[in-house]
Amino acid sequence: MKATTTDFVFEIGCEEIPAGMLPGAAKELKVILEKYLTTHNLLDNGGVETFAAPRRLAATCANVRIKQADETKEVMGPPKSASFDSAGKPTRAAEGFAQKFGIPVDKLLLVATPKGEYIAAQQIIHGKSASQILEEVLPRAVKEIPWPRSMYWTGATGLHFIRPVRWVVALLGGKPVRLTLGDAMAGKFSAGHRFLGKSKVQISGAKDYGQKLRASFVLVRAEDRRKKIETKLRHLAAGKGLHVHEDAHLMDLVTYLNEFPTAILGGFDPSFLDLPDEILITVMRDHQKYFALEKKDGSLAPHFLAIINLDRDRAGLIRAGHERVLRARFADARFFWQTDQKCRLADYLPKLGAVTFQTKLGSYGDKVERVRALARWIAEQWFASSIPQASVASADRAAELAKCDLVTDMVREFTELQGIVGGLYAKSQGEPEDVAWAVYDHYKPAALDDSIPRNITGQAVALADKLDSLVGCFAVGLIPSGSSDPFALRRAAMGVVKILIETKLPLSLSLAVARSIRTLGSLPPKINVNVMVEKQVLDFILERARFVLKERGSVAHDEINAALAAGADDLVDAVRRAEAVKAIRKTRNFEPLAISFKRIRKILEKAGPESGWKLSAVRPDFFAEEAERQLHSQAAAVSRLAEQHKREGRYREALQDIAGLRPAVDKFFEEVMVMAEEEQVRKNRLTMLSDLLAQFSTIADFSEIVAGEKG
């Protein structure tokens, strides 16, 4: 049998594509090509594999149908009544219709439809060849690859892409597909490594694509490059008895910066080790993309590993060059370190007045004053809650210094070292250690998996800084929407949540937000805050709390919702309540009771507004059934017990008490019809149920529990 499928290889040969964009582009190209192959019915089985290296974005597919299957289609014509005259002869309409499809009238079909019988023509649509379709879709596919910013090179009306396309390989079953990208026409020739490989590498198909390029010193698979780098790094480090300073982000970057990576070892003057490790590592990583090396004790060694895009350092010139460059870079860092510290960190405060935080919210100088006030207040709250380590004076000093490094040369050069540099300067200038660490840490956590500030002073400043940004931005209408969140408010809210639940420090969110709003109004530029803002900010933080807790995975989503619905002002308390729900969730009575609570909620919702039925109190004399009387008295007893447990913080016991109500609730629903005919009986029952729901929903709102979900 003749083969029905064949292979396809596609490579866009480019001038160097930015490394950070390559992994995403490879993923997108896969999705886009699979979409087109699937919609055109060309994908037999399996999918598309994509590759990304600095000078190429490529795809292979082993099983592309050579031709689409033919399709038979019925095309509806005019109704039967209009197609045949009274004698049963075809009318002009029928003949015209048949002619249009090139078939004799007697080959027309009759099709019954709900609207009556119609004539129809059977049409065979011949499938197009894969090469025909690829010619059509590949230019579109290329244009669909998203880039943060694209460029043109063959004139403004020419192709827009991330960098100029210089060659294209597009082979279907070994034959070139007709395609031009920019001014490059598709053919059989790829290009090897810029310096080590052949400038023309002939590809015959998907099968030999990787091998052919490998022979020309290009590893098209990112995983192969990564493994090669990791092996070389470990090998060189071990040779010196050192460890590589792990850096996943840098590893990704060098994987996509080189087509044939090799590591080389270099050294630097140990006198630079006087500079803090953080700065040395950042200089090596950011400017030079070197891996730092550590001694056994974790301190830095005067060596580095550079990844070069070659097989080896033939003449030793590369190592010498890198060492020379690093020396200049370190000299620069030392220059910053020394000139920045010609004055003390606090002396930078006046300069912060000239740096805008946000047009309406004033300068960083203004922000610092607000953060100080709020940090003092937070520390006070903690101190008053018998947490003696909380120091108002330390929080105030750390907040005062926290933003000073923004106007130092070091942070201007290495923005990601903000906070860290301030902390290092504070430390070297003799500020108390807890203050220095607080400055160092106060931007933390930078992400969900980042750690929180290490001491309580840093935690107070970090909370104050984040709350001020949240409240301030919401107050001036800068509310994140979709992907637009220029002030990283989601991260700020995430940080607030993480700090609170990980430290287990008590803080009333509503009081803290209200305090922040007051501070915004009382300190320059004195913003009047709309009353809506408090709720908006609290809701925003809660939404993040749900997200953070869900990601942590210790409690289920509905358990979180149940706990938060019962009160979310103190997140630590809410987490403890959610954990209590989780703990008793699997007990016999809990889920059935949750279902009953949901039923109660529905009944109450259906009964309409409370004003229509709610009595001032349950009237035992209105009870008509034994089951409701029993439920009422049991509920009163359980409520006392549960309250007692709750006051003692024993949420689990309190929930168990409540779960014990289940038989009484079940019995009630078996024997009592809530919506009784008689008005006062009905109102009394509704009132009792509504009291029940309110009383027993202060730890967790049971009706949020999704029955049958795993705890």
Partner 1 sequence: MHPETFLRVLGPEPYQVVYVQPSRRPADGRYGENPNRLFKHHQLQVILKPSPSNIQDLYLKSLSAIGLRLAEHDVRFEEDNWESPTLGAWGMGWQVLLDGLEITQFTYFQQSGGLDLDPVSVELTYGLDRICAYLQGVDSVYDVRWSANRTYGQVRLLEEQEFSAYNFEYADPVVTRTLFELHEKEAKQLLEKYRKADDKEKIRFPLLAAYDHCLKCSHLFNLLDSRGVISTTERAQLIGRVRQIACRVAADHLGQQTGVASSAASSGGKQ
Stretch touching partner 1 by CB under 8 A, among 62-70, 311-319, 569-577, 602-610 = 311-319
Alpha helices, DSSP H, located in 55-159: 80-83, 92-100, 130-144
Q: Which is nearer to partner 1, 196 or 615 (CB)?
A: 196
Q: How far is the CB of 192 from partner 1 (least distance, A)?
A: 14
**Rounded-to-integer distance, Cα 226 and Cα 249, Å:** 12
**Rounded-to-integer distance, Cα 474 and Cα 532, Å:** 10
Q: Which is nearer to partner 1, 109 or 331 (CB)?
A: 331
Q: Binding mask 182-211 vs partner 1 (x if CB under 8 A, - otherwise)?
A: -x----------xxx---------------
Task: Say if residues 58 and 50 touch (Cβ distance below 8 Å).
Answer: yes
DSSP-based three-state secondary structure for 152 = strand
Name the DSSP class of 167: E
Q: How far is the CB of 356 from partner 1 (least distance, A)?
A: 4
Subset of 48-107 contacting partner 1 (CB under 8 A): 54
Q: Binding mask 607-636 vs partner 1 (x if CB under 8 A, - otherwise)?
A: ------------------------------
What token pair was written down for 106? 């007697």
**Rounded-to-integer distance, Cα 479 and Cα 496, Å:** 17
Stretch touching partner 1 by CB under 8 A, among 101-109, 163-171, 422-430, 617-625 = 163-171
Q: How far is the CB of 352 from partner 1 (least distance, A)?
A: 10
What token pair was written down for 278? 């953080």
343 near partner 1 (CB under 8 A): no
Q: How far is the CB of 461 from partner 1 (least distance, A)?
A: 23
Chosen residue from 9, 168, 257, 661 binding partner 1 by CB under 8 A: 257
Q: Which is nearer to partner 1, 11 or 691 (CB)?
A: 11
Task: Say if residues 480 and 546 touch (Cβ distance below 8 Å).
Answer: no
Task: Say if residues 379 and 392 touch (Cβ distance below 8 Å).
Answer: yes
Beta pairing class for 56-65 and 71-79: unpaired
Report how far Cα 582 is from the mean position of its chain's Cα atoms. 26
Subset of 35-54 contacting partner 1 (CB under 8 A): 54
Q: Binding mask 258-287 vs partner 1 (x if CB under 8 A, - otherwise)?
A: x-----------------------------
**Rounded-to-integer distance, Cα 203 and Cα 215, Å:** 12
Distance set, CA 686 to CA 434, 602, 616, 620, 630 (Å): 57, 11, 12, 13, 15
For the chain, count helices (H), then strands (E): 26, 20
For the beta carbon of residue 481, count every other beta carbon within 10 angstroms. Answer: 7
Subset of 2-31 contacting partner 1 (CB under 8 A): 15-16, 18-20
Stretch touching partner 1 by CB under 8 A, among 82-90, 216-224, 326-334, 646-654 = 326-334
To which residue do tokens 């490394």 refer? 19
Question: What residues contact residue 680 under an 8 Å CB cut-off, 6+ apart?
Answer: 619, 622
Q: How far is the CB of 270 from partner 1 (least distance, A)?
A: 17
Q: Binding mask 399-428 vs partner 1 (x if CB under 8 A, - otherwise)?
A: --------x---------------------
Chosen residue from 4, 71, 85, 335 binding partner 1 by CB under 8 A: 335
346 near partner 1 (CB under 8 A): no
For the beta carbon of residue 22, count every other beta carbon within 10 angstroms. Answer: 23
Q: Binding mask 366-405 vs partner 1 (x if CB under 8 A, - otherwise)?
A: ----------------------------------------
Q: How far is the CB of 521 from partner 1 (least distance, A)?
A: 23
Subset of 514-543 contacting partner 1 (CB under 8 A): none
For the beta carbon of residue 675, count every other beta carbon within 10 angstroms. Answer: 11
Using CB under 8 A, count the residues that bind partner 1.
51
Task: Say if residues 418 and 381 touch (Cβ distance below 8 Å).
Answer: no
Chosen residue from 33, 61, 310, 456 binding partner 1 by CB under 8 A: 310
Backbone angles phi, psi at 245, to 5 degrees: -75, 110
**Rounded-to-integer distance, Cα 182 and Cα 614, Å:** 75
Stretch touching partner 1 by CB under 8 A, among 317-325, 431-439, 473-481, 575-583 = 317-325
User: Is the Cα dihedral 332, 335, 339, 342 positive or negative?
Assistant: positive
Q: Which is nearer to partner 1, 313 or 465 (CB)?
A: 313
Task: Say if residues 583 and 659 touch (Cβ distance below 8 Å).
Answer: no
**Rounded-to-integer distance, Cα 451 and Cα 636, Å:** 46
Q: Which is nearer to partner 1, 252 or 332 (CB)?
A: 332
Chosen residue from 44, 252, 278, 332 binding partner 1 by CB under 8 A: 332
DSSP string, 263-308: EEEEE--GGGGGS-HHHHHHIIIIII-EEEEE-TTSPEEEEEEEEE
Stretch touching partner 1 by CB under 8 A, among 150-158, 464-472, 579-587, 602-610 = 150-158
Q: Which is nearer to partner 1, 332 or 653 (CB)?
A: 332
Stretch touching partner 1 by CB under 8 A, among 160-168, 396-404, 452-460, 673-681 = 160-168
Burial level of 34, CB count in 10 A (0-12/13-18/19+)? middle
Q: Which is nearer to partner 1, 152 or 640 (CB)?
A: 152
Q: Which is nearer to partner 1, 316 or 388 (CB)?
A: 316
152 near partner 1 (CB under 8 A): yes
The maximal CA–CA distance of the chain, rounded, in angstroms, is 111
Q: How far is the CB of 58 from partner 1 (least distance, A)?
A: 19
Beta pairing class for 109-113 and 151-152: unpaired
Q: Which is nearer to partner 1, 122 or 154 (CB)?
A: 154
Q: Which is nearer to partner 1, 66 or 222 (CB)?
A: 222
Q: Which is nearer to partner 1, 20 or 620 (CB)?
A: 20
Helix axes 571-585, 590-606, angle to 10 degrees: 120
* Interface positions with partner 1 (CB under 8 A): 15-16, 18-20, 54, 149, 151-157, 163-164, 166, 183, 194-196, 257-258, 288, 306, 308-310, 313-315, 317-318, 320-322, 324-328, 331-332, 335, 351, 354-356, 359, 363, 407
